[in-house]
Amino acid sequence: MDVEKIKQMLVVQGTNFGLKVLGAILIWIVGTWLIRVLVRLMERAMKLKSVDGTVVKYLASSLSILLKVVLAIGILGFFGVQTATFAALLAAGGLAIGVAWGGLLANFAAGAFLIIFRPFKVGDAVNAGGVTGAVEEIGIFTTIINTPDNVKTIVGNNKIFSDNIQNFSASNYRRVDLQIPLHYSVDPMEAMKLVKPRLNTIPNVLKTPEPVIEILELNRQGTMLAVRPFCQNQNYWQVYFDTNRAVREVFNGAGYPPPNMNTFPSDVV
């Protein structure tokens, strides 16, 4: 075989390979575009069926990843790679990745359980994985929680699912728990009679159930009152701060001494 024929063969093979590469790139671009269109159509169809937004996002992400894997396998087949061999390699690689990325797969499995069992949904106020805030997104591997001080916090799904979960939005209302100390010279019964009607004037405090005010404990400094109004979940912090302010105003108006004395009546000479 002379040099010219070798050159011609190399040119032909190089041209064919280059065309295949261009074709693969074109297939990938068109395929990913079609996948996006298909995923959007699926999202739109599920939203029309009033499917929960959390489920929609989770299924859309899973479908997108699955279709891209299928597309990649199809492109490899376009280059002449045997899919059976590739499937075996993929299974072996998946096993290796599963061992190395056990935590990542645990987050994936936990995400699936969060979708199935639904301990909370997007928009709920929760304490999950040691983070308190409003749920912004439940993803495949992580959940995004926005804390009360407006910090976007990303928590692994496995950490959430393996820990205790408090869903503050699950019930129609919450109880605000406050502990109010009294000076030992103040009559607790009189203080409770003054505070209770004031609680009913605080905005967003529920009439039913009624606010609760009782003696929580007695100590050497005086009496500790338990002040517990009820409110809707979204009004919790407003009622919390307003109740503190209202109690302080009542005590100031009654002329009660501040509860910072370290003596008990029997200690006074």
Nearest one of 231, 131, 150, 247 to 142, comparing CA atoms: 131
Radius of gyration of the chain (CA): 32
* pLDDT (0 to 100) of residue 265: 45
Residue 264: per-residue pLDDT = 44
Asked whether residue 106 is assigned to any structural domain, the reply reads: no
Is 103 part of any domain? Answer: no
How much is the pLDDT for 88?
62
- 37-70 confidence digits (pLDDT tens): 888 888 888 777 776 676 677 777 777 887 887 7
Residue 62 pLDDT: 74
Confidence band for 247, pLDDT divided at 50, 70 and 90: very high
| Pair (7, 93) in one structural domain | yes
Report yes or no on 268 lying in a domain.
no
Q: What is the pLDDT of residue 61?
A: 78
pLDDT tens string 116-138: 888 999 899 999 999 999 999 88
**Tens-digit pLDDT profile for residues 73-83:** 777 776 666 65
Cβ atoms < 10 Å from Cβ of 256: 18
pLDDT at 13 over 80: no
Q: Which pLDDT tens digit goes with each residue over 175-218?
A: 999 999 998 889 999 999 999 999 999 999 999 999 999 999 88
Q: Which amino acid is at 159?
A: K
Structural domain includes residue 102: no
CB atoms within 10 A of CB 70: 12
- Tell me the percentage of the chain whose pLDDT exceeds 70: 78
Q: Residues 148, 218: one domain? A: no
| Higher per-residue pLDDT: 268 or 210 | 210
Per-residue tokens: 206: 């529920």
Here the CATH number for the domain that contains residue 221 is 3.30.70.100
Residue ranges making up the domain that contains 207: 173-263
Q: Give how many domains the chain has, as a whole number.
A: 3
Is residue 269 over pLDDT 50? no
Which one of 10-19, 91-100, 107-116, 226-235 scores highest in mean pLDDT? 226-235
| Average pLDDT over every residue of 148-165 | 92
**Boundary of a domain, candidates 147, 167, 187:** 167
Q: Which of 113-117, 124-128, 161-165 has the lowest mean pLDDT?
A: 113-117
Residue 95: per-residue pLDDT: 58
Q: Is the pLDDT of residue 266 over 60?
A: no
**Do the domain assignments include residue 82?**
yes
Q: CATH number for the domain including 82?
A: 1.10.287.1260
The confidence score (pLDDT) of residue 32 equals 87
Residue 126, Cβ density class (10 Å: 0-12 exposed, 13-18 middle, ≥19 buried): buried
pLDDT (0 to 100) of residue 263: 46
Contact 156, 142 (CB under 8 A): yes
Does the structure show a pLDDT above 80 at 145?
A: yes
Is residue 23 situated within a structural domain? yes
Our CA angle for 156, 143, 95, nearest 5°, is 45
Last residue of a domain, one of 141, 167, 193: 167
- Does a structural domain hold residue 203? yes
Is the same domain home to 147 and 178? no
